Chain A
């Protein structure tokens, strides 16, 4: 019979039961009638024939039952019956059911929540039409992959490529700008883009027009597109804003359109402004400022596009060997590139949550086995009454499936709640907000998980109990030797749980140590009681160097007059807060050859180093007299000085600095200061160089103000000082340095916290497992303990025995767990800082912790054993 017909027949049996039943009835009755006729023909009276036939036939119902049994019609009936029996037995044991539901619920809930985040971030496609055609281009230099591509290179690729239907450039984050001419002056996050960005992404504007190629041509008037949320907040959703002129940092920009709601690329932004081919900052070949996003032309394979880009890269290298030597662009599907960094973290969290689920399954399997041994009498009776082995196992599996279903419901409810937490914990700003809610994929995963857990925690106990029922334990009393193997199996489970917990604890311990090591890194400056903020003055009010210097001179004066303020620092970019860019620096004669090194550049107001607590190693600070009338000077950090001059004394020597022109700018070194952590604590200190403000005035500056004693930052006082100087200049991005540093490690902290939480749940479950085994063991051995006490064993010996067996379980678990942890934690090696995977203190702490916790788990059973009354134990026989 074909599989199809087989299926149809099965379904008939299940669903069209009545008609099948009728057919069966008809057939059996016919058989009976034939039998009677046969007997009559052989000479019996009809009445006697009927009696004889009925006797030999037995009840029709019985035969029907037998037929049904072979045919599987019973399965549906049994299922309902099993479920009913299961629910009845659950009601009788609410404690067991609640424990199992809570344990499994936590495991399933955590896994489903993690999966929903994975689903929303890693698996789902990006929110652009035909997003699989989108590609991200990243710069490669000597094989190293960076993020941003040079604007001039981009323009060349755009002209030459045939592989893309659109190729756009976007600044990788929103640059802070002041907008005037539309309500109050306010700060916005603005991204600078090439005109084809929205057509490439496939997102037409909601209002107004899209950018056109001419918007990006040299000398074109500046045009901007507004983000939908910003348009609603600041322009009260007024469609009239399209066509209006606003001032961005003092430059007029025309708003040409508004984007549809929900649009986002890589980071949040309020305004998108087109850069033009002659914008020096954007299109100098040596400055790398843009993400490259392209849409592959229909039918073009990524490999072909990459091959074409390689050819263009080689051509650029030949034409511009100074800037483009060994430089290229790596094309990656946009989604893959964006999730690359998060994949590791999410994978690690998912693995941790999976371990918790496994431990939870272990606990419930243990519970079921314990319950199974107390139910052996029930199973024996049912077996004796004719229930088949398969039938008993099915009954137990039904119970377990119901448990898993319940746990699944608990878990999904928990997952909806946990999900928000995880999304908040793991900042995935490149992907945007992960919308809460469970997708159908997540629900499918939850169902699969339930099935999987039934298989994991339920199948083996069910099989064991059903098999044991065969050993006719009715006569052997309530305690039986058949329980011994299941007790052994529980011990194996607990050992496994302890081992898995050790893995989680070790991982979490290593992450914690990394975090502590990171926080104790010396940033090279004093970060205490430091309030930081951002000030940017508009070009139209402060058109020249003189007015700019005057503004900051007055502002810093006002700041130092604030009561309680001890130090005032002004700098173009603050360490950790805003890393900024590298530029090349070298001895003037070595600049043209390959002798130049990279260093971060900053513009500093005199007094910056002292105010920040940065060590002055040699020479002097910059001064107000280092202005445009005097010789250009520079201060180097130790590392930069050493890289450029080696062991020679740098003071009084000249260096050449890349300023985006053909010839380097020559400056005299007047001072050397200590190195700072510039970008992240992980990357450590890096080389830097500092220009005097009076020689390189900047309109965008950061300020750092230190207060005496008091920790509260005088934000209001700073604001009023600023208002006194110029009410038209906003103060933005106010944060204490501690907050800045703390935020820079927020990702790591949250991942450490989540893994820590998982480890906590794991050890809790493992303790319950250890406790369960011992408590059960003590309960079963009451009689034996009674005998031993009657024979003179002391309370201490009895309790000690329980303690020993508990510690033995934990010890074996540790013994298995530590090598597993050593292997498993090597997977997170890249996430560790200042600590190796083989870290003795971590493992020692884990071992002590696990043993200590196991002792606690042993205490109650040990006490119970010590309190066994020998007389009562004998009587209970």
Chain B
């Protein structure tokens, strides 16, 4: 597990928003996409994923609808809303600012 980083609090929301910005996905696909894009560094636990999805939906960042999975099963698909897109942009900038700052500090070592 040492090769895998724990998610910083709050960053999961950012990752979900970013993942959904590309295309609407169901929950499992969101977790796999994050794992894939992070080259297996980040693994999203279901225990965090679904609460985060429901929370984002309740805040109006994402919306859900019933769709078909690849295997033809009924599945809930999440998509980014306009509000979510705006939030993503904002959070992204914030994150960059933060990570640059951390990087700068670490670089002084």
Interface residues in chain A, defined as those with a beta carbon under 8 Å from any beta carbon in chain B:
1, 5-6, 9, 23-24, 26-28, 30-31, 33-35, 37-38, 57-58, 62-63, 66-67, 69-71
Q: How far is the CB of A57 from chain B (nearest CB, A)?
A: 6
Interface residues in chain B, defined as those with a beta carbon under 8 Å from any beta carbon in chain A:
26-28, 31-32, 46-47, 50-51, 54-55, 58-60, 69, 71, 73-76, 81, 83
Chain A residue contacts of B75, Cβ below 8 A: 27, 30
- Contact A30 B69, CB 8 Å, known A1-B59, A70-B55: yes
Q: How far is the CB of B63 from chain A (nearest CB, A)?
A: 9
Chain A residue contacts of B50, Cβ below 8 A: 24, 27-28, 31, 63, 66-67
A63 touches which one: B26, B47, B81 (CB < 8 A)?
B47
B58 touches which one: A37, A62, A71 (CB < 8 A)?
A71
The contact sample of 6 A-B pairs, CB cut-off 8 A, is A9-B58, A26-B74, A27-B26, A27-B76, A28-B50, A70-B58
Chain B residue contacts of A23, Cβ below 8 A: 76
Q: How far is the CB of A803 from chain B (nearest CB, A)?
A: 55
Known: A27-B75, A31-B46, A71-B58. 10 other contacts (CB 8 A): A26-B74, A27-B26, A28-B50, A30-B27, A30-B73, A34-B28, A63-B50, A66-B47, A69-B51, A70-B55
- Contact A67 B51, CB 8 Å, known A26-B74, A30-B73: yes
Interface SS majority for chain A: helix
- Candidate in B32, B54, B76 with the most chain A CB atoms within 10 angstroms: B54
A28–B50 Cα distance when bound, in Å, is: 8
A71–B55 Cα distance when bound, in Å, is: 7
Chain B residue contacts of A66, Cβ below 8 A: 47, 50-51
| 9 shortest interchain CB distances as A-B pairs | A1-B60, A34-B28, A70-B51, A31-B28, A70-B55, A66-B51, A67-B50, A27-B76, A67-B51
Chain A residue contacts of B31, Cβ below 8 A: 31
Q: How far is the CB of B79 from chain A (nearest CB, A)?
A: 14
A488–B64 Cα distance when bound, in Å, is: 53
A23–B46 Cα distance when bound, in Å, is: 16
Contact present for B46 and A70 (CB under 8 Å): no
Contact present for A58 and B46 (CB under 8 Å): yes
Chain A residue contacts of B27, Cβ below 8 A: 27, 30-31
CB nearest to B59 among chain A residues: A1
A34–B46 Cα distance when bound, in Å, is: 12
Q: How far is the CB of A36 from chain B (nearest CB, A)?
A: 11
Chain B residue contacts of A37, Cβ below 8 A: 71
Chain B residue contacts of A67, Cβ below 8 A: 50-51, 54
A229–B71 Cα distance when bound, in Å, is: 86
Chain A residue contacts of B60, Cβ below 8 A: 1, 5-6
Q: How far is the CB of B42 from chain A (nearest CB, A)?
A: 15
A26–B64 Cα distance when bound, in Å, is: 14
Contact present for A6 and B58 (CB under 8 Å): yes
CB nearest to B66 among chain A residues: A23
- Candidate in B51, B55, B60, B73 with the most chain A CB atoms within 10 angstroms: B51
- Contact A1 B47, CB 8 Å, known A6-B58, A30-B69: no
Chain B residue contacts of A5, Cβ below 8 A: 60
Contact present for B26 and A28 (CB under 8 Å): no
Chain B residue contacts of A57, Cβ below 8 A: 46
Q: How far is the CB of A749 from chain B (nearest CB, A)?
A: 63
Chain A residue contacts of B81, Cβ below 8 A: 1
A69–B26 Cα distance when bound, in Å, is: 21
Q: How far is the CB of A53 from chain B (nearest CB, A)?
A: 10
Contact present for B51 and A30 (CB under 8 Å): no
Contact present for B59 and A35 (CB under 8 Å): no
Q: How far is the CB of A546 from chain B (nearest CB, A)?
A: 100
B54 touches which one: A30, A34, A71 (CB < 8 A)?
A71
A71–B51 Cα distance when bound, in Å, is: 8
Q: How far is the CB of B99 from chain A (nearest CB, A)?
A: 26
Chain A residue contacts of B71, Cβ below 8 A: 37
Chain B residue contacts of A26, Cβ below 8 A: 74, 76
Chain A residue contacts of B58, Cβ below 8 A: 1, 6, 9, 70-71
